[in-house]
Amino acid sequence: MKNAFFYDYPIGKIAIVESAGTISHVDFQCNGKRDFDGFAIFETPLIKKAAKQLTEYFSKKRTKFDLPLSPAGTEFQLSVWRALETIPFGETRSYMDIAVQIGNPKACRAVGMANNRNPIAIIIPCHRVIGRDGSLTGFGGGLDAKQYLLDLEKSEI
């Protein structure tokens, strides 16, 4: 059974989904992009904990998350998402940097696609990945939200 609950944050409404005792999604799909039929709309203790940690993050009181995560993806996607988790708070990496880190320097485009499919936004910090030239590139919550998150992390904690 998947449980979902929705929260308003400075960058918009975010859905947090718990599946089998882990967080499986944190995303912006509650804006009509994801179908929540078949989900129980229920705030479980774990969802509440995740929401609290996100609130602390947006309040500049948290730089790391401590939650059980279960992103579902291919082995390649999982390797990219693990690499994203190593990007320190307040720093960015390019798609090339991530491709090199996972041992596949020619996979920049594939890294971009895996980044795009990250089901646990913010907590698995796909917003910290930018173009090699420093340009902002796609983000599920929109480029304004991505810029907000990067600015939030650059400001003093």
* Residues acting as catalytic residues: 126
Element of type H or E holding 77: helix 75-84
Cα–Cα distance between 50 and 44 in angstroms, integer? 10
| Phi and psi at residue 23, to the nearest 5° | -85, 120
For residue 34, give the amino acid letter. R
Q: Which two tokens stand for residue 138?
A: 């796609």
CA within 13 Å, CB half, 49 = 12
* Residue partners of 64: CB distance under 8 A and separation at least 6: 89
